[in-house]
Amino acid sequence: MYIPRPLPTTNTARALTLSVLVLLSGCTTLGPDFEPAKVDAPASWTDWHSGGQSLDELTIDSSTVPAERWWREFEDPVLDRLEQRLLEASPDLQSALLNFTRSRLQRQVAVSARGVAIDASGGANRQKLSEHGAQVRMAAISAPANKDALISALAEPYTLYQVGFDAGWELDLWGRISRRIESAEADSRASAALLAQAWLGLTAELARNYFELRALQRQRALLEAEIANGEDQLALLEANRDAGLVREQALDSQRIQLDELRAGLPPLGRRSVETANAIALMLGGRPGSVGGLLDANGSTNEPIPNTDLSLGLPSELARRRPDIRVAEAQLHAATADIGVAMGDLYPRITLQAGLGLESYEQGAFADWASRRWSIGPGFYLPIFNQGRLKTRVELTKVAQQQAAVSYQQTILKAWQEVDNALSAYSAEQSRYRQLQGKLESALSQHRLIAANRQAGLVDTSVELQAQRQVLLVERQLVESRAALRIQRIAVYKAVGGGIDSQQTTDEQGGEDES
C-alpha cells in the first residue's frame, strides 16, 4: 500500500530530494535486452532448392523489387479497378487497420505511465456526526465537565467544502515502465506488419481469383465452340448415314462425345459463380455487385509479359516478408515482458503531492487559512505474493523461448514458400511453352487439311476433327496461361510483395508518439 509522508520542514524536503537523487543514480533496467537475430540467406534465390528440377531457366532480376502495386504489370484495367476497390472497401483490410490503430493507442497508454499523473477533485458534502460515535466519545472523555454542550456542538449538521489537486510520479527504478513501453512499441510494430500482411494477402488473393475467373470464362467459350464443332460432325454423319455411307454406330459414338462435352458446361458455370462471389465478398459487396466488371466479354486471352522476375536481394527477405516482421516484433515484445515481470518483484517508490482548500464555513472557503497540502513518497513492496510473481517471471521466459522458436520456424517456412513458388512457376513456364508448340502443330495440321479439303483430297469430317483438336489444345493453353499468372502472383507473395507499401507501414509503425 502507498503511505504518504508529510514533509512540513525545509530540511525534510531537502533530505527527500537528496534521497531521490541517490535512488535515481542507482536505477537499472531489469531483464534481457533484445538483439535481432542474424538471418541466413542464400546468395541466389535458386540456391536453396529441393528436387531434381533445375531453376536455371528462370530470369530473376535481383537489382529491383516489385512495385507497390505489382499487379499493374499484367496491364489489365479491370484488375486495376478491382484492386483499387479492395483497398477502399475491403472489410478484412478495415479490420486489420483498426487492430493497428488499437495497438498505437495501447502504446500511448503505456508511454503515459512515465509521466506525472495529476487528478483534480472537489465537493460540497452535508454531514452530521453521530452523538454516540467514536469521535464524539473521545471529545466527551477529554472534557467531561462540558460533555453535553460539546456533544451537541459536534453533532450539529454542517457542510464541508473541498477542492484540490493530487499528483503522483512513479520512479522507474528497475526499468519496469521502460520495459512495458518497449513491449507496447513492439506490439505496435507487429500490428503494422499484420496490416501489411493483410494487404499483401488480400491483393494477391483478389488477383488470383480474377485470373481464375477469366480462365473459366474463356474455357466456357472454347467449350461451346467445341460443342458446335461436334454438332457439325454429328450433322455430317447423319447425312452420310442417310446416304448409306456410314453405320448408326458411328453416330452413337459421336453423340456420346457430344454429351460428354455438354456435361462440362455446368461445372464451369458453377465455378464461375463461386469465384465471382468470392471476389464480391472480398470487396464487401453482395453477390452480383461486381457483375459489370466481371462480364465475360472482358475476359483476357493474352499471355503475361515476358519480363524478368524482379525479386531484389535474397538477404532482404526477412525485412520484406510481413510474417517475419510480425514474428520478430512478437519476440521483441516477449523479451521486454521478462523485464516487466522482474520489475514487479522489487519495490516501487512514488512521489506524491496534494494541494487544495477545505472549509466547513462557506465564507471562509477562499481564505488562505483553509489551504491544505501534503507531499511525500509512497512505498510498495510485495511480500506474501513473491511466489506468484516469480512464477510469472518464469512464464514470461517460457513465452519468450516459444516466440524465438516461432520466429525461426517462420523464417524456414518463408524459404519453403519461396522455393515452392519458384519451382511451380518454372514448371508452368515449361508446360506453357510445350502447349504453345502443340498449338502451332495443331494449327499447321488444320491449315493443311483445310487446303486438302478444298482440293477435294479429304472430306469435311477430317477438317472438323482437326478443328476440334485445335480447340482442345487452346483450352489447355488457357488453363496454363491462367496458372502461369497465378504462380507469378505466388512468387511475388512469397518474397513479400512490393517494398514501397511495407516501408510506408514501417515508418507509420515506428513514429514516436508520446
145 vs 336, higher pLDDT: 336
Residue 26 pLDDT > 60:
no
Residue 362 pLDDT > 60:
yes
- Which is nearest to 214 in space by CA: 129, 298, 277, 98? 298
pLDDT for res 106: 79
Mean pLDDT of 112-122: 70
Q: What is the number of domains present in the chain?
A: 2
* Residue 195, domain member (yes or no): yes
Mean pLDDT of 456-469: 84
- Range of 487's domain? 31-43+56-114+172-345+382-509
Q: How many CA atoms lie within 13 A of 41 on its CB side?
A: 17
Q: Are residues 146 and 284 in the same domain?
A: no
Q: Are residues 301 and 159 in the same domain?
A: no
Residue 87 pLDDT > 60:
yes
- Structure confidence by residue, pLDDT tens digits, 241-296: 887 777 788 788 888 889 998 999 999 999 999 999 999 999 888 998 888 888 86
E-strand stretches of 369-442: 371-380
Q: Are residues 294 and 395 in the same domain?
A: yes
pLDDT band at 299 (very low <50, low <70, confident <90, very high): low
- Provide the 8-state DSSP code for 39: P
Domain CATH code at residue 61: 1.20.1600.10
* Residue 514, domain member (yes or no): no
Q: Are residues 318 and 364 in the same domain?
A: no
Mean pLDDT of 430-434: 91
Q: What angle do CA 185, 510, 514 make, to 5 degrees?
A: 65
* Residue 51, domain member (yes or no): no
Domain edge (last residue) among 362, 381, 400? 381
Cross-strand partners of 357: 163, 371
Terminal CA-to-CA distance of the chain, rounded, Å?
29
- Provide the 8-state DSSP code for 385: T
Distance CA 346, CA 31 (A): 13
pLDDT for res 300: 58
pLDDT for res 309: 85
pTM to 2 decimal places:
0.79
Q: Are residues 339 and 482 in the same domain?
A: yes
State the cell numbers at 251.
453416330
State the cell numbers at 422.
519458384
SS3 call for 32: coil
pLDDT band at 304 (very low <50, low <70, confident <90, very high): low
Mean pLDDT of 61-88: 88
Q: Which of the given ranges, 27-31, 80-84, 228-232, 343-347, has the highest pLDDT on average?
A: 80-84
Question: How distant, in Å, are the alpha carbons of 86, 87, 378, 444, 464 from that of 229?
Answer: 41, 44, 92, 18, 7
Q: Are residues 266 and 390 in the same domain?
A: yes
Domain CATH code at residue 363: 2.20.200.10
Instruction: Please return the burial class of 316, using the count of CB atoms within 10 Å of its CB with bins 0-12, 13-18 and 19+.
Output: middle
Alpha helices, DSSP H, located in 155-175: none
309 vs 377, higher pLDDT: 309
Q: Are residues 436 and 478 in the same domain?
A: yes
* Residue 82, domain member (yes or no): yes
Question: Which long-range contacts does 118-122 make (Cβ < 8 Å, 24+ apart)?
Answer: 118/165, 118/166, 118/167, 119/165, 119/166, 119/167, 120/163, 120/164, 120/165, 120/166, 121/162, 121/163, 121/164, 121/165, 121/166, 121/356, 122/162, 122/163, 122/164, 122/356
Q: Are residues 183 and 157 in the same domain?
A: no
* Residue 50, domain member (yes or no): no
Distance CA 370, CA 386 (A): 44
Instruction: Please return the burial class of 129, using the count of CB atoms within 10 Å of its CB with bins 0-12, 13-18 and 19+.
Output: middle
Query: Are 139 and 154 a contacting pair, CB within 8 Å?
Result: yes
Query: Are 183 and 336 a contacting pair, CB within 8 Å?
Result: yes
Q: Are residues 39 and 103 in the same domain?
A: yes
Domain edge (last residue) among 381, 404, 425? 381
* Residue 49, domain member (yes or no): no
Q: Are residues 352 and 319 in the same domain?
A: no
Distance CA 281, CA 482 (A): 22
Q: Are residues 167 and 246 in the same domain?
A: no
**Mean pLDDT, the chain, as a whole number?**
81
Residue 10 pLDDT > 60:
no
Q: Are residues 190 and 292 in the same domain?
A: yes
* Residue 420, domain member (yes or no): yes
At a CB cut-off of 8 Å and minimum separation 6, what does 77 contact? none
Residue identified by cell 460428354 is 260
Domain edge (last residue) among 360, 381, 402? 381
Residue 348 pLDDT > 50:
yes
pLDDT for res 506: 47
Query: Are 159 and 126 a contacting pair, CB within 8 Å?
Result: yes
* Residue 502, domain member (yes or no): yes
| 309: enclosing H helix or E strand | strand 309-310
